[in-house]
Structure 1
């Protein structure tokens, strides 16, 4: 069993097509197919069901895939560790972030990191905080930037709190309260655009309204800040965004809140960061600190 064979199996499993998998691996399809078939003969099982329309994993292939990925990750980590011992950072850096991260200028940090470590392959995904914690916990991401209610802490990962910021209400520019001040009680009769109930980006607002002793209606639940902004522009409701993030939408009206909800931003990483991840943590000032 060879690492190249494992790479081919993973590529076919992820893409579901031998031709496109060969393109990803930069080999001709016949060579890839030959190596996969040789591995199947060695294992004594079929890893893929092949039809004229699609390719999918057999039950044996499903069982084989996690171990294949783990072997490839271990090999990549070993190469990265050897390179780091000689002073070179290489390998991969998988970063996750909420769309509204504001405590760090993430695009600038990634730019600086790429200049310092050009041999590292960087990927970035955007998702909700709960999803990002799970991906870091499972090893799919090296580091991630979260936004959580002030009293919440990420579990099962190492973390550092980056800072706390207030939220502001954002409204259509012709809203009567645009660019003014209010308290939550004064907005309770407005329809709201917010994330789904239970989402980390929603919890801090719900808790703040509950603390103010008022209820609000959220008829529009969205999955992204951009979609929230689109609905707010149309005058369909009031949105809640971090004060440091709201200036990205200068066409919206901003309402400063006297009893504003707050959120805390965290940087999280796994128990044993790779050399590439450790270099990124150093660049953004996290070091080896762990939240108590």
Structure 2
């Protein structure tokens, strides 16, 4: 079993295509297919179901995939640790972030990191907090910026609290509430809402606040990022609540204080096994020692 074979399996699983996987791996498709077939013979099980229209993992493939990713991450980390031992920072830095992070200017931080460590391959993924936490646990993300309700803490990772914030309401400029200096949840409960998907940490912050107040609300529109949420509000399709530190980035909406608003905590998180050399350098750039224990 070879690392290259594992790379091919991961590429096919992520692209659902042998053709696209071969393009990603910079190899001809026949060579990729032959290596995967060779691995399947060695394992004694098919990893993919192939039809003329699609490729998908078999149960055996689904069982093999997490271990293959872990092996690849371990190999990458081993090479990075060797480079670090001779004073070089190399390898990869996979950063994950929620769309409403406000405690850190991530683009500016990544630019400075790239200037300091040009040999590190940097990537960024924007996803909900719970998905990012899982990715940190499994090694797919090195450093993640999370936003959680005050009743929840990151699990399975090391984490450091960055900031606490309360929500404000945002409405269209011509909304009847636009001239109000402040509102409460009871007054907002009668409005149509635009919010993040149900069961995500970003949505839970508001859901818990309304439930604690004994109020129901109508979430007619569920979107996956704050920029689209603000565009929906701007068009008068509903109102929304977002962290107060984030909303100054938005244009074309009016901000209203919410007297009994929900709150959230922003965290930065990394692996319990310790940061990779690149992740440690990034945390140091942010003023966060990589050896810190989970909060």
Matches within 5 A, 1:26-175: 26-43=26-43, 45-175=45-175
Question: For residue 293 of structure 2, what is the aligned residue in structure 1?
Answer: 290
CA positional deviation for 1:133: 1.6
Distance 2:257 2:21 in 1: 52
CA positional deviation for 1:270: 0.9
Matches within 5 A, 1:171-190: 171-178=171-178, 180-184=180-184, 185-190=186-191
Distance 1:196 1:39 in 2: 39
Q: Deviations over 1:126-180 (max 9, x none)?
A: 1112222222222221121111122321122111110111211111101233254
Mind listing any 5+ residue stretches in structure 2 that lack a counterpart?
Answer: none
Equivalent residues of 1:188, 1:214 under 8 A apart:
no
CA positional deviation for 1:207: 3.8
1:240 aligns with 2:235: no
Question: For residue 217 of structure 1, what is the aligned residue in structure 2?
Answer: 217
TM superposition score normalised by structure 1 = 0.87
Matches within 5 A, 1:246-261: 246-261=247-262
TM superposition score normalised by structure 2 = 0.87
Deviates more, 1:48-57 or 1:221-230: 48-57
Q: Deviations over 1:192-225 (max 9, x none)?
A: 32234443223333444455x4624223241332
Q: 1:78 to 1:242 in 2, by over 3 A?
A: same
CA positional deviation for 1:20: 2.8
Question: For residue 192 of structure 1, what is the aligned residue in structure 2?
Answer: 193
Higher Cα Rg: structure 1 or 2?
Answer: 1
Equivalent residues of 1:208, 1:261 under 8 A apart:
yes
CA positional deviation for 1:73: 1.8
Distance 1:254 1:10 in 2: 45
Q: Deviations over 1:226-285 (max 9, x none)?
A: 332233223232210111221222211111233333211111111122111111111112
Q: Secondary structure at the match of 1:125?
A: strand
Distance 1:274 1:230 in 2: 38
Equivalent residues of 2:143, 2:269 under 8 A apart:
yes
Distance 2:187 2:17 in 1: 57
CA positional deviation for 1:86: 0.8
Mind listing any 5+ residue stretches in structure 1 that lack a counterpart?
Answer: none
Question: For residue 279 of structure 2, what is the aligned residue in structure 1?
Answer: 277
Q: 1:195 to 1:88 in 2, by over 3 A?
A: same
Q: Could you say what the CA RMSD is over the residues aligned between the two structures, in angstroms?
A: 2.5
Distance 1:245 1:106 in 2: 13
